[in-house]
């Protein structure tokens, strides 16, 4: 069954991006619309909460994307943090 869409376009795009990266949405009740879990949620995986009505939908959408991008379990395209 397809999940329901987030009413805000930018947040919906961020959720769709997370899903493309292998994350799964679990809808919940309350102020949060759902919880996104990364592909490793069975072990010490990542989780990010999606608000229904954040103060700024744009800021929230960008923060969701950043959380997905810093997931240590995603396949690294390039790990370039070595100082020399």
Task: List contacts with another protein (CB under 8 A).
Answer: 28-32, 44, 46-49, 51, 53-56, 59-60, 63-64, 66-67, 70-72, 80-84
Question: 5 vs 66, which CB is nearer to another protein?
Answer: 66
Question: 3 vs 58, which CB is nearer to another protein?
Answer: 58
Cα dihedral 57, 59, 60, 65 sign: positive
* Neighbouring residues of 80: CB distance < 8 A, sequence distance ≥ 6: none
Q: Residue 43 CB, nearest distance to another protein (Å)?
A: 11
């Amino acid at each position: 069954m397809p999940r329901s869409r987030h009413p805000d376009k930018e947040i919906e795009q961020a959720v769709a991006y997370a899903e493309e990266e292998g994350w799964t949405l679990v809808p919940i009740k309350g102020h949060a619309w759902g919880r996104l879990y990364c592909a490793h949620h069975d072990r010490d995986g990542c989780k990010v909460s999606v608000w229904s009505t954040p103060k700024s939908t744009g800021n929230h959408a960008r923060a969701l994307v950043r959380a997905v991008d810093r997931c240590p379990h995603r396949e690294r395209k390039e790990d370039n943090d070595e100082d020399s």
